[in-house]
A and B are shown apart, each in its own frame.
Chain A
Amino acid sequence: MEPLMALAIGLLYATAIFMMLRRSIVKLVIGLLLLSNGANLLIFTTAGMTRGAPPLIPEGMMQPLGDVADPLPQAVVLTAIVIAFGVLAFAVVLIRRAYEIVKADDLDKMKDTDT
């Protein structure tokens, strides 16, 4: 499974970077979104992928049954998902605001500090 995921993550990164290199600001946002998902999957995958063994402890027991998936990367990714959303919301509003003021959707036209 992991090699397949590795390929998919590589693709996510490639698409994300391609979009971030565009001059259109909306494409930049899409690139940001793709990149954060790629990074989340990267962390998730590098810890190893386990089927059907969530890190839960059954009622009345002190240890989980058998080997479970590594909980640490899951916790890290969980944090990352939420943060990525916060960043995205901020970026979207920022870009909208910039567009309103500069009236340009071309990043190259936003290179001056004065508008």
Chain B
Amino acid sequence: MQFAVLMGFVLAASSPLLNRWFGERTSLLLALFPALIAGWLLSQAPLVFSEGPQLLEWEWVPSLGISLTFLLDGLSLLFGLLITVIGTCVLIYAGGYLKGHHDIARFHLALVAFMASMLGLVLADGLLTLFIFWELTSITSYLLIGFNHTDIEARKSARQGLFVTVAGGLALMAGLVLLGVASGSWSLYEILQSDDDLRQHALYTPLLICLLLGAFTKSAQFPFHFWLPNAMAAPTPVSAYLHSATMVKAGIYLLARLQPELGGTGMWVTVLSVVGATTMLTGAFLAIHHTNIKKLLAYSTIMALGTLTMLLGIGSDYAMTAFVTFLLAHSMYKGALFMVAGILDHETGTKDVTAMGGLRSVMPVTAVIAFIAALSLSGMPPLFGFIGKELMLEAALGAERVQLLLVLFAFLAAILTIAVAAVIALRPFYGARHETPKTPHEAPLSMLIGPGLLAFGSLALGLAPAMLGADAMLTSAATAVSGGALPVSLSLWYGVNVALIMSVVSLILGFLLFKRWDSVRGQLARLAPVMRYGPEAGYEGLMNGIVRFSEWQTRLLQNGYMRNYILVMLVVLIALIGNSILLRHSPQLALTLDVRFHEVIVVATMAMGALFATISRSRLGAVVSVGIMGFSIALIFILFSAPDLGITQLLVETMTVILLVLVLFRLPRFSNLSTNLERIRDGSVAATMGVLIFLLIMTAWSIDQFETISTYMVENSAPLAHGRNIVNVILVDYRALDTLGEMFVLALAAIGVIAMLKLRHGETEGKAVDGEKASVKEPYDG
């Protein structure tokens, strides 16, 4: 299994090469990959059915205890098969759809990488492995939405999808870490097997909120649903694959995966059912606004995702059965419908269903496929979608909380969905022929295989669910989702019950709505001013706000004035250090002044030097004052047992003064550029900092956190290092590397100085040749 997932990434990386070698056949070749994995998954199915979850472990970083473990149970098997089977269809389809596209290699790369990531996501056992694959699907989705990168809308939509899902990903990461901490295990299998009840854990609420945020953003739940319709900027095979059948179900997968461990609490049930039902109705309601066939399908996908979330929220056995059935049914018909939408777009050159009509005669096969898939979408017998919808209505009727709301929403959504299905299946193919930008032909075989397979699959599964192994598959998946054994036995006929009556009524109402769709749309257009204030406006506002905020703070902080940078740093420093000194240590201000007269004189001289350097109005005066200060410091060193320091200070100070005097008169004169107000401000900041340093020193003496290490140095200086001057021994022996570093610094400074001087010479000569400004510059003689 590891091999299969990793192979996917290798294959993705090599797809440019494959494209070069195999040209147009590459799509077919790549389609072999998911097909083979699907075959392998099917071969594992009996084992999973009979013996339960299988763990496949592979040590990754054994020293850190990180292993790449995959978990194969009913749920991941179902998802894995969806990913690989629909992936095969989509790859074959994409070969026809993007035939001759100059960038098809990039498309293959991202699509196959997505496939591998998605497989990794649904098979991962480790929480962090799951997170990594989760983020990989977000990134590949970003690349695929923005595939037409010359189109600004595509780029914008890609970014929006990325921001929303990755922001959710951050929450998910926090949630997974909390889950790992709360359960004490990083393996999904262990978490699901353990007897600990996480529902009682103190971290349950925060971890659930984080996980839900991650799942809701990924699966486009209200109010994060807005990115999904925009993601339709992607090429249609991508929409069919990522944004209906697989990726958007990752959030659903996560919720289903954790349902046995976290589900069933009041919070879980209420949040999931209400959010799910709201998403369901919002999606269905917004769908009928649109005439763009892909948008119609996108909103109907949101409706389906909401339904799945709602079913997970309800959490009864019935709901679990409905969940797995609806999941399978939706992936199949929605994948097929998206591909049909792609065919229509490809052949007619428009995505607007109102601009199409009467295509039945030129595209009979497509029309049949669309009709079957749309029947499944609308939930008509004998299609698989019918079973899914019946179970869903039944589950809503049996909900323990907010039952009325769920039933009402489900009923309304069903009516709207039927209208949407009718629009897609009937509008383009019946009625009068319209002129379209391109003259339509029947789609090539490669584009019909995928949707055809999925559509007829829906039909076959509906007619004979038991025969085709769907029962066994769904039993296994439902068992994984509910946490206990849950046999699923599907059939088309459950007898006359409330759900069936609701179905029939919604069918009639939905068809009426379809008949009056054009006028209803006109009425709905009046709502446009209100619709502008949706969640997407909130997203836009947030994004613009972030940009404005960063502009503002960049202007404020990165203003290019060095003294402002210094001021900001100082004020922060004063606040932090001052706060710490005053609150956590009371500085020892008991002054025990043990001073001699000559010491006071030396320190006073030094202080005078520093002060005078500040107030001096001439450069020379300042240099002399600094010199006096430096020599006083040398005296202080000598007086207080540091002869080496004293000597060094004397030497360096002498050189400093010489250097300053030499260069001084080539430097500009002192100028007073600041206003008095600025001087007062700077002066008070400087004085505060001075006081702070004073307090810091006074505090430092009263704190003794570590034993001094110099005792060791003093004791071993002569015996081990054979040196009598301990300071020198430290420099050349104990801390020899420091000294080496110091030498490097000095050498670098010297090289820098030389470079700058040399550079000047070269430039002067160059300018002199040009005859420009040469006379302005003084020749350099030092």
A residues neighboring B (CB under 8 Å): 1-27, 29-30, 33-34, 37-38, 40-42, 44-46, 48-59, 61-64, 68-72, 74-75, 77-79, 81-90, 92-97, 99-100, 105-108, 111-112
Contacts and interface: CB of A to CB of B under 8 A. Distances in A.
A12 B691 CA distance: 11
Contacts of B611: 11, 15
A16 B746 CA distance: 23
Contact of A4 (B600, B623, B731): B600
Nearest to A12: B610
The 4 lowest CB-CB distance pairs between A and B, nearest first, are A14-B690, A105-B668, A111-B560, A10-B694
B355 interface: no
B645 A57 contact: no
A69 to B, nearest CB: 4
A92 B730 contact: no
A19 B619 CA distance: 13
Size bracket of the B interface: 35 or more
Interface in B668-725: 668-674, 682-683, 685-687, 689-694, 697-698, 700-701, 708-710, 713-715, 717-719, 724-725
Contact of A17 (B685, B701, B759): B685
Contact of B668 (A13, A25, A71, A75): A25
6 contacts: A13-B686, A14-B691, A15-B686, A59-B724, A81-B652, A107-B563
B639 A51 contact: yes
A50 B640 contact: yes
B670 A50 contact: no
Given A1-B595, A17-B685, A18-B683, A86 B750 contact: yes
A17 to B, nearest CB: 4
Contacts of B553: none
Contacts of A95: 667
A87 B667 contact: no
B752 interface: yes
A78 B644 contact: yes
Interface of B: 559-563, 566-567, 570, 591-595, 599-600, 603, 606-607, 610-611, 613-614, 619, 622-623, 626, 629-630, 633, 636-637, 639-645, 648-649, 652, 655-656, 659-660, 663, 666-674, 682-683, 685-687, 689-694, 697-698, 700-701, 708-710, 713-715, 717-719, 724-727, 730-731, 735, 738-739, 742, 745-746, 749-750, 752-753, 756-757, 759-760, 777
A12 to B, nearest CB: 5
A6 B695 CA distance: 8
Contacts of A38: 693
Contact of A92 (B561, B659, B673): B659
A11 B690 contact: yes
Given A86-B750, A105-B667, 4 more contacts: A13-B689, A20-B566, A21-B685, A71-B710
A21 B641 contact: no
Contacts of A48: 701
Given A13-B689, A75-B735, A89 B659 contact: yes
Given A4-B595, A9-B694, A89 B603 contact: no
A10 B693 contact: yes
A36 to B, nearest CB: 10
B731 A75 contact: yes
